[in-house]
Structure 1
Amino acid sequence: MFAPAPRRPLVVLSAVAAAGLALGVLTAYAQGWLPDEVGSLANSSGAWTVLAFGLAWWAAGRPVVAAAAGALALLTLLAGYVIGAEVRGFPSSTALMVFWGAAAIVVGPVIGLAAAWVRSGPPVRAALGAGAVAGVLAGEGVYGLRYVADTTYPPYWWGSIVAGVLLLAAVIAGRRLPARAAALAVVVTAVVAAAFVVLYSADLISVLP
């Protein structure tokens, strides 16, 4: 039998870009559609992280392709959001585009590599990848409960924490990580979550022009 032809990186990345753009537009519209209980889903770093992770997981082949997919996913999510918000009559500020564009370039490749490592990397790398993504979800949940619970729906943030824990548990069980790798995943989750809270609470976007 013939082995299936490998997917061409350009085709894969084009599909990631198209999906990211469409999901970004959907995010902008969802801000007006979703009920209060889940409204934060359309204004959440964790949601975009999961979307970028999923797209990079699908694209994962060589690490460089996965890293590019993660960055491209976040960039096109941002572009789609800006387009959707503009159509709705809510133009995006330069500060928003600069901040989240820089975040996409810096964080996107990490998310892409995390997806590739969780999917098929050795145990230590799978632990690092799982911890990175689970940490974002848990960290955003803690941030939400601590800083914006009065103006949002608190159970949503608890849900984000639970989602991070479930993701971590699923990778540990699904990849059958040995004890040391599993412990590493837990530690990375905690470190990333703490870093997320510190950086997000600094409100860096407010210092941009």
Structure 2
Amino acid sequence: MAGVLSQLGLLAGYYVTAELRGYPAGLGAVVIWAVAGVVAGPVYGAAGALLRADRRILRAVATGLTGSAWGADGLRFLWLASDAQSNSGPGATAGWSFLLISVLLPVALARSARDRVYALLVLIAGVGAVAVASLVIDQAFML
């Protein structure tokens, strides 16, 4: 529940701030990101709660998931930076920085070398899952 509430709180804060600065927020965008938050919030909330689980597999999954959103965003930023026609995205430096953070998070949070290996394998799968979810969100904006 905390994961959902934190995501919806972030969403509300973002769009209230955008409105106050004069950038209109479309209802469709709010709904799309609210649905994404309701799905992602519990996943990342559970990952945070399971970081100190006794079972190695639970710790590895939780630890690997911590960096997955960072990794997917890093790949997206690098992709946007490589497109000469695009003037969007924060650039290649941000992309590489996000990728570095995505790897350092599981490495720093894992308890042992074996946990780090498992967590990095989960990170790869998690980045793929987040990248697919990002494509679904992009398609939702095209409707």
TM category, shorter: 0.7 to 0.9
Structure 2 Cα separation of the partners of residues 184 and 124 of structure 1: 8
How much does 1:162 deviate? 0.3
Compare relative contact order (CA 8 Å, sep 6+) and give the higher one, 1 or 2. 2
Contact 2:103 2:120 in 1 (8 A): no
**Unmatched tracts of structure 2, length 5 or more:** none
What residue number does 1:207 align with? Answer: 142
Work out the percentage of aligned pairs sharing the same amino acid.
31
Spell out the pairing of 1:51-62 with structure 2 (5 A cutoff). Answer: none
171, 178, 194: which is aligned to 2:128?
194
Contact 1:114 1:129 in 2 (8 A): yes
Contact 2:29 2:141 in 1 (8 A): no
Structure 2 Cα separation of the partners of residues 205 and 154 of structure 1: 26
Matched, 1:157 2:89: no
Normalised TM-score (structure 2): 0.85
Structure 2 Cα separation of the partners of residues 201 and 102 of structure 1: 14
107, 121, 129: which is aligned to 2:53?
121
Normalised TM-score (structure 1): 0.60
Give aligned pairs, total: 135
Contact 1:70 1:108 in 2 (8 A): yes
Larger radius of gyration: 1
Q: Matched residue of 1:89: which SS?
A: coil
The RMSD of aligned alpha carbons is 1.7
How much does 1:192 deviate? 1.3
Structure 2 Cα separation of the partners of residues 77 and 139 of structure 1: 19
**Unmatched tracts of structure 1, length 5 or more:** 1-67
Q: Matched residue of 1:75: which SS?
A: helix
Matched, 1:167 2:100: no
